[in-house]
């Protein structure tokens, strides 16, 4: 092998490469005592042993200290000494299953494995369920119970219940399916997009969607959807309906897909109810050319044709014969010359009987409610009433507040219903809690 090099050089080589002193000496010999070159050569050659079975070959080819060797020759010589790695063994496997329903059977599992499931949190309960494709006929009650059951403590469970999504009013279909259902049922489509990082979105779940009156008016007039902004349906909605900021609530016309009204700020239940009732009063899903129902009008005997008069006489004769076996002369048909009093006349007489009355406003509390009046000039007036006050008090208040309407046959309309027909009922009985009432003069 030749003379041994300085033990310090060998020790440095062995400390870095963890090789034996013999191997270190052989590489130092090849590199003519240059430790850095010897270490580089050792690492590039994979630690090939220059002192083993090839020692005689190495001695024959090893350049002497007086002989120089080019880098190319050294690399070629070292490459000849390296052993060749064995080829990778072949393997057999199935790429596609034999089942014809392979894609249908494996889609959900592949989808879930490729998508990162968000961690459970009291503020992303909707996201936790949207980590899978939206399924029709989902059991929202069971999912809510699962979320509550996974809470780590009683305190966390109470928070989860406090900020949970409104499962009891949410549609269990996707956007397009819900839109088609709303179109067939003649209801508006309401969409709420949630952003988990925005606490105002969670306040909607806590304060707005949990309100019983809000839930009732949504169930009666809307189909409701709530999506997370990063869910599949949420991203699809944001593609067609860009939003500026959160929270986001929108009313969609199911016939045209037009976004009719948008809330992008935090609203209280009372303000939301007033806005919704005002929207419902000013918009309808009925076609514009829908024929109006006409009441049958009574005709005088002189206006009837001879054939119609004959048919009436025969009908009266047959009715008389069926009630008595003895023949009787037909009684004369009485037809009044004046038409019966119409419903409009009755309503006008009721309104004329209501006088302006200025009562003291009750204090805020559980027994009172706020009513918003939209006056004919576009202005708005908000006042508190007791829940058990009759609807008549609304008419009296409007006449007392707006003197020029005191002698007018005013109309109070709520959700396209005339309140003059309900003057004797209470506000609570007629669903007028926190309502927005339109005042008009026919």
Listing DSSP states for 245-281 in one string gives SSSEEEEE-TTT--EEEEE-S---HHHHHHHHHHHHH
pLDDT band at 295 (very low <50, low <70, confident <90, very high): very low
The pLDDT assigned to 134 comes to 45
Using left for φ > 0, alpha for ψ between -120 and 50, and beta otherwise, residue 408 falls in beta
- Greater pLDDT, 261 or 365: 261
Cβ contact 262:250 at 8 Å:
yes
Residue 252 β-bridge partners: 189, 259
Give me the pLDDT at residue 96, please.
57
**Residues 434, 414 contacting (CB under 8 angstroms):** no
Q: What is the mean pLDDT of residues 331-359?
A: 65
Of the listed ranges 30-39, 177-186, 256-265, 289-298, the one predicted with least confidence? 289-298
Extended strands (E) in 325-435: 368-374, 380-386, 411-414, 417-418
419-435 residue pLDDT tens: 998 999 999 998 888 88
For residue 275, the tally of other CB atoms under 10 A from its CB is 17
Q: Which two tokens stand for residue 329?
A: 């002369």
pLDDT at 261 over 90: yes
Examine the pLDDT at 250 and tell me if it is beyond 90.
yes
Q: Point out which residues pair with 382 in neighbouring strands.
A: 372
Q: Among 51-60, 140-149, 275-284, 318-327, which stretch is predicted with the lowest mean pLDDT?
A: 51-60
More confident residue, 401 or 309: 401
Is pLDDT of 63 > 50?
no
132 to 39, 113, 128, 233, 294: CA distances (angstroms):
55, 10, 9, 11, 53
Give me 7's structure tokens.
């033990």
Instruction: Output 322 or 284, whichever has higher pLDDT.
Output: 284
Banded model confidence at residue 185, pLDDT cuts 50, 70, 90: very high
298 Cβ contact partners less than 8 Å away, ≥ 6 residues apart:
335, 336, 339, 340
* Distance, CA of 165 to CA of 147 (rounded, Å): 11
**Three-class DSSP category at 319:** helix
Sheet of 188-194: strand order equals: 222-228, 188-194, 248-252, 259-263
| More confident: 27 or 46 | 27
107 Cβ neighbours under 8 A, 6+ residues apart: 133
Residue 238: count other Cβ atoms within 10 Å of its Cβ: 15
Mean pLDDT over all residues of the chain? 76
* pLDDT bucket at 398, cuts 50 / 70 / 90: very high
**pLDDT at residue 127 tops 80:** no
Provide the pLDDT confidence category of residue 241 given band limits of 50, 70 and 90. very high
Which ranges of 95-174 does DSSP label H, i.e. alpha helix?
Answer: 102-114, 125-129, 140-149, 154-162
Q: Looking at per-residue confidence, does 325 or 261 come out higher?
A: 261
Residues 6+ apart with CB under 8 A from 297: 339
**Confidence class of residue 52 from pLDDT cuts 50, 70 and 90?**
low
Averaged over 256-271, what is the pLDDT?
92
Helix axes 154-162, 140-149, angle to 10 degrees: 150
Q: How many whole angstroms separate alpha carbon 205 and alpha carbon 189?
A: 18
- In which band, very low, low, confident or very high, does the pLDDT at 11 lie, cut at 50, 70 and 90? confident
pTM of the model: 0.50
CB 200 within 8 A of CB 264: no
Q: Kindly provide the b/e burial profile for residues 32-58, where b requires at least 16 CB atoms within 10 angstroms of the residue's own CB.
A: eeebeebbebbeebeebbbbeeeeeeb
Is the per-residue pLDDT at 159 higher than 70?
yes
pLDDT at 125: 63
pLDDT on residue 347: 60
For residue 287, what pLDDT is reported? 73
Residue pLDDT, tens place only, 73-116? 777 776 666 556 667 777 777 665 555 454 445 444 444 444 44
The whole-number pLDDT of residue 427 equals 93
Instruction: Say if residue 308's pLDDT is above 80.
Output: no
């Amino acid at each position: 092998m030749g003379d041994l090099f300085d033990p310090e050089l060998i020790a440095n080589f062995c400390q870095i490469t963890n090789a034996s002193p013999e191997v270190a000496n052989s590489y130092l010999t090849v590199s003519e005592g240059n430790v850095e070159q010897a270490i580089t050569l050792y690492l590039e050659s994979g630690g090939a042993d220059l002192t083993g079975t090839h020692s005689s070959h190495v001695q024959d080819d090893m350049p002497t200290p007086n002989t120089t060797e080019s880098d190319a020759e050294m690399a070629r010589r070292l490459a000849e000494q390296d052993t060749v790695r064995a080829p990778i063994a072949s393997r057999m496997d199935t790429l596609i299953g034999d089942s014809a329903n392979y894609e249908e059977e494996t889609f959900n599992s592949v989808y879930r494995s490729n998508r990162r499931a968000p961690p459970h949190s009291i503020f992303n309960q909707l996201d936790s369920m949207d980590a899978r494709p939206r399924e029709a006929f989902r059991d929202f009650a069971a999912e809510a119970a699962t979320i509550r059951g996974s809470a780590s403590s009683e305190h966390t469970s109470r928070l989860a219940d406090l900020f949970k999504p409104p499962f009891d009013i949410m549609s269990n279909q996707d956007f397009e399916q819900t839109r088609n259902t709303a179109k067939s049922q003649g209801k508006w489509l309401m969409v709420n997009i949630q952003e988990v990082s925005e606490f105002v979105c969670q306040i909607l779940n806590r304060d707005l969607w949990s309100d019983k009156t809000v839930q009732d008016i949504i169930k009666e007039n809307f189909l409701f959807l709530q999506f997370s902004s990063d869910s599949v349906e949420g991203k699809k909605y944001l593609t067609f309906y860009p939003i500026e900021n959160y929270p986001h609530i929108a009313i969609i016309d199911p016939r045209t897909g037009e976004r009719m009204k948008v809330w992008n700020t935090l609203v209280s239940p009372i303000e939301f109810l007033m806005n919704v009732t005002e929207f419902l009063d000013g918009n309808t899903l009925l076609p514009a050319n829908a024929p109006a129902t006409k009441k049958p009008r009574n005709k005088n005997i002189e206006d009837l044709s001879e054939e119609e008069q004959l048919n009436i006489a025969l009908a009266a004769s047959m009715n008389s014969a069926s009630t008595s076996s003895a023949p009787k002369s037909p009684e004369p048909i009485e037809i009044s010359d004046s038409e019966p009093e119409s419903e409009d006349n009755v309503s006008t007489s009721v309104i004329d009987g209501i006088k302006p009355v200025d009562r003291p406003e009750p204090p805020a509390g559980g027994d009172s409610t706020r009513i918003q009046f939209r006056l004919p000039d576009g202005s708005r007036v908000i006042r508190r009433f007791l829940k058990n006050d009759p609807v008549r008090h609304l008419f009296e208040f409007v006449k007392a507040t707006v003197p020029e309407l005191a002698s007018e046959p005013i109309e109070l309309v709520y959700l396209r219903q005339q309140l003059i027909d309900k003057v004797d009922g209470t506000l609570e009985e007629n669903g007028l809690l926190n309502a927005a009432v339109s005042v008009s003069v026919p």
